[in-house]
Amino acid sequence: MPVPSLPAELAALRETAVSVLRGNDLGDITRPSPTLYPHQWLWDSCFIAIGLRHLDPQRAAAEILSLLRGQWPSGMIPHVIFAETTDFYHAGPQRWRCDRVTTTAGGAQSTGVTQPPMIAEAAVRVGEMMTDSARAAFYRQLYPGLLRFHQWLYTERDPDDDGLVSLVHSWESGMDNTPTWMEITRPAAPLAVRALRRINGDDALDALRRDSKEVPPDERLTSGDLFTLYRIVRELRGAHYDFREIRRTIVPLVQDVAFNAILIRANEHLTAIAAEIGEVIPAGLRRSMRRSREAIGQLVVDGVYYSRDFRTRTLLRHETIAGLLPLYAGVVPEDRVDGMVKTLTSPRYCARFGVASVPLDDPAFLPRCYWQGPVWVNMNWLIADGLERYGRLDAADDLRRNTVDVIAASGAMYEYYSPLDGSGAGSNRFSWTAALLLDLLA
Ligand code: 2M8
- For residue 80, which atom of ligand 1 is closest to its CA? 5
**CA separation for the pair 186, 171 (Å, rounded):** 14
Length of the chain as a residue count: 442
Q: For residue 350, what pLDDT is reported?
A: 81
pLDDT recorded at residue 200: 72
Cβ 32 under 6 angstroms from ligand 1: yes
Under the phi-then-psi rule, with left for phi > 0, alpha for psi from -120 to 50, and beta for the rest, what region is 87?
Answer: beta
- Taking residues 334-362, report their average pLDDT: 95
Closest alpha carbon to 83 in 142, 23, 119, 32: 32
Pocket lining: 174 vs ligand 1, CB cutoff 6 Å: yes
CA of 384 to the centre of ligand 1 (A): 22
Q: What does R_g of the chain's alpha carbons equal in angstroms?
A: 20
Task: Assess whether pLDDT exceeds 90 at residue 289.
Answer: yes
pLDDT at position 195 is: 84
**CA–CA distance, 154 with 128 (Å, rounded to integer):** 28
Phi, psi of 62 (to 5 degrees): -65, -35
pLDDT value at position 270? Answer: 98
CA angle 44, 173, 239 (to 5 degrees): 115
For the question of residue 415 being annotated catalytic, the response is yes
Q: Model confidence at 304, in pLDDT bands (50, 70, 90)?
A: very high
Q: What ipTM is given for this predicted complex? A: 0.99
The Cα–Cα gap between 147 and 177 comes to: 30
How does DSSP assign 115-155, residue by residue?
A: ----HHHHHHHHHTTS-HHHHHHHHHHHHHHHHHHHHHHHH
| Nearest atom within ligand 1 for CA of residue 37 | 16
Q: Which pLDDT value is given to residue 214?
A: 77
The dihedral formed by the CA atoms of 230, 380, 319 and 342, expressed in degrees to the nearest 10? 180
393: enclosing H helix or E strand: helix 393-410
- pLDDT over 90 for what percent of the chain? 84
User: Whole-angstrom Cα distance, residue 68 to residue 40?
Assistant: 12
Pocket test for ligand 1, best of 41, 368, 433 (most atoms within 8 A of CB): 41
Among 266, 238, 265, CA closest to 251:
238
Q: pLDDT-derived band of residue 242, with 50, 70 and 90 as boundaries?
A: very high
Check if 43 has its Cβ closer than 6 Å to any atom of ligand 1: yes
Specify the pLDDT at position 98: 87
Residue 207 confidence class, pLDDT cut points 50, 70, 90: confident
Q: What is the pLDDT at residue 103?
A: 66
pLDDT at 212: 65
Q: What is the pLDDT of residue 283?
A: 98
Bigger pLDDT: 342 or 200? 342
The sign of the CA dihedral 60, 62, 63, 65 is positive
Q: What is the pLDDT of residues 111-161, one digit of tens each?
A: 999 999 999 999 999 999 999 999 999 999 999 999 999 999 999 999 999
- Binned at pLDDT 50, 70 and 90, residue 210 comes out as confident
**Predicted local distance difference test score (pLDDT) of residue 192:** 85
28 annotated active-site: no
Asked if residues 290 and 161 have their Cβ atoms less than 8 Å apart, the reply is no
Higher pLDDT residue, 68 or 84? Answer: 68
187 vs 199, more confident: 187
Judge whether residue 24 has pLDDT over 90. Answer: yes
Give the pLDDT band (50/70/90) at residue 37: very high
User: What's the rounded mean pLDDT across residues 4-24?
Assistant: 94
Q: What is the mean pLDDT of the chain?
A: 94
Atom in ligand 1 nearest the alpha carbon of residue 174: 12
Residue 4 confidence (pLDDT) = 61
Please tell me the predicted confidence (pLDDT) of residue 5.
82
Does 439 sit in the ligand 1 pocket, CB within 6 Å? no
Domain extents for the chain? 8-441
Cα(41) to ligand 1 centroid in Å equals 8
Which atom from ligand 1 is nearest to the alpha carbon of 44?
Answer: 14
Q: Is the pLDDT of residue 1 over 60?
A: no
Residue 196: its pLDDT value, please? Answer: 79
Average of per-residue pLDDT across 262-278:
98
- pLDDT for the residue 367: 96
CATH of 8-441, one of 1.10.10.10, 1.20.5.50, 1.50.10.10, 3.40.50.920: 1.50.10.10
Residue tagged active-site, from 176, 225, 319, 439? 176
Which mutation among 20, 37, 118 tests ligand 1's pocket best, with the greatest number of atoms within 8 A of CB? Answer: 37
Across the range 196-204, mean pLDDT stands at: 74
Mean pLDDT of 242-270: 98
In angstroms, the CA 236 to CA 233 distance is 5
